[in-house]
Amino acid sequence: MDIHEHQAKAILAEFGVPVPKGFVAFSPEQAAHAFRQLGGNNCVVKAQIHSGGRGAAGGVKLCKTEAEVRSFAATLLGKTLVTKQTGAGGKLVERLWVEEATDIAQEIYLGFVLDRKSERIMIVASGHGGMEIEDLAENDPDSLVRMVIDPAAGLVDYQARELAFRLGLKGSQVAQFATTLRACYRAYRDLDAMMVEINPLAITGAGDLVALDAKMSFDTNALYRRPQVEALRDPGQEDPRESSAHDNGLAYVGLEGDIGCIINGAGLAMATMDMIKLAGGEPANFLDIGGGASPARVVTAFRTVLTDPNVSVILVNIFAGINRCDWIAKGVVQAYEEVGLSLPVVVRLSGTNVEEGREIIRTSGLPLISADTLAEAARAAVRARPTPVAAE
């Protein structure tokens, strides 16, 4: 789960990272008020969306007057900002962050990520941070400094100092950098984060360190024990298909294709998506309906899949172990009635109570397409699409 820059800054500040003073604004009037509260000096107005790359997309501006703040806020609010990271759909700007401007002498990149290879939290840093960091990571990956943290020892002081020296920091900057590193590490660990990123961590004209941007994302599987983090969720920034699935407790990931998938088990869902591709189709989503899926849950899964307007056929693939095929079949029939389904539906059932399940499908009188194997089901779904995609 992602959060906004201003929320990440508030969290990191609590742990001890220096951040500029600022205010959230939901209207040009509030932005102007923030400008006055900051003393009427130069300020930076920043679009709050769950994406980086805002600077290059026109979502960040240094403003010198209240009128400038007001007019930039008016253009930005309600606008969909498309950045390198948002995809073509962009993200709607519903709030701004107005903060005091900083005089920047140098921009450092600082990231904390989970390194799967070493199974540890890893720090990634560069003395050449800022908006071109992605180019740097691509063209000169060796210039990035990497360091893994031993979970038993935690981040130790000599590591912080070594990192500071490798970035070329001097004098009191070394201690300031160590403080920021420790704060980020604690925030990462204590809040079950997946990523903490400060880019840029600026060195000011006076030689001090301050975090001008902050990004945090969290492990959704740990949210049950982090209610204060979950409270920061902004559904307006999420894929609407995924928000509705999340609210219904379904594991759903939106994709680009048109074959809606309702499957039990993450592994089977992955295999089914592969088979769809092999058959020449594109899945519209990943959806794991989970074990013990009651007919009502199947109906909810149908509703979730149908929130995606691109879906032109639905493929139900169930290997029932804990589940029961007759429940699933009842759910499919019920979904037809309750949702007023008009799309072709391919159903492949296997496992517990498969005969009862198939009987329900057979005698339903509904235009359901039955398939025996996974490969057959995938091919049937591809064939059932109303608008076949031309072969590439």
* Residues within the interface to ligand GDP (CB under 6 A): 44, 46, 52-55, 60, 62, 101-102, 104, 107, 130-131, 199-200, 212-213
C-beta closer to ligand GDP: residue 52 or 265: 52
C-beta closer to ligand GDP: residue 70 or 128: 128
Cα dist. 117→113, 190, 350 in Å?
12, 22, 37
Cα-Cα-Cα-Cα torsion 109, 110, 112, 113, nearest 10 degrees, comes to: 10
User: What, of Mn ion, ligand GDP, none, does residue 58 touch, CB below 5 to 8 Å by kind?
Assistant: none
C-beta closer to ligand GDP: residue 199 or 323: 199
Residue 177 CB, shortest distance to ligand GDP, in Å, is 18
Q: In the complex, which residues of this chain contact Mn ion (CB under 5 A)? A: 199, 213
Is 109 part of the annotated catalytic residue set? yes
Residue 130 CB, shortest distance to ligand GDP, in Å, is 4
Of these residues, 188, 197, 242, 336, which one is catalytic? 197
Is 158 part of the annotated catalytic residue set? no
d(CA 79, CA 306): 27
Of these residues, 5, 100, 109, 252, which one is catalytic? 109
Residue 139 annotated as lining a ligand binding site: no
Question: Quick one: tokens of 125?
Answer: 């840093």
C-beta closer to ligand GDP: residue 212 or 263: 212
User: What, of ligand GDP, Mn ion, none, does residue 126 touch, CB below 5 to 8 Å by kind?
Assistant: none
Which residue has the closest beta carbon to Mn ion? 213
Cα-Cα-Cα-Cα torsion 172, 176, 178, 182, nearest 10 degrees, comes to: 160
CB 9 within 8 A of CB 19: yes
Burial letters 23-51, b for 16+ CB under 10 A, else e: bbbeebebbbbbbeebeeebbbbbbbbbb
Which residue has the closest beta carbon to ligand GDP? 55
User: What, of Mn ion, ligand GDP, none, does residue 102 touch, CB below 5 to 8 Å by kind?
Assistant: ligand GDP
* β-bridge mates for residue 254, sequence order: 285
Catalytic center residues? 109, 197
Binding residues for substrate, as ranges, are 264
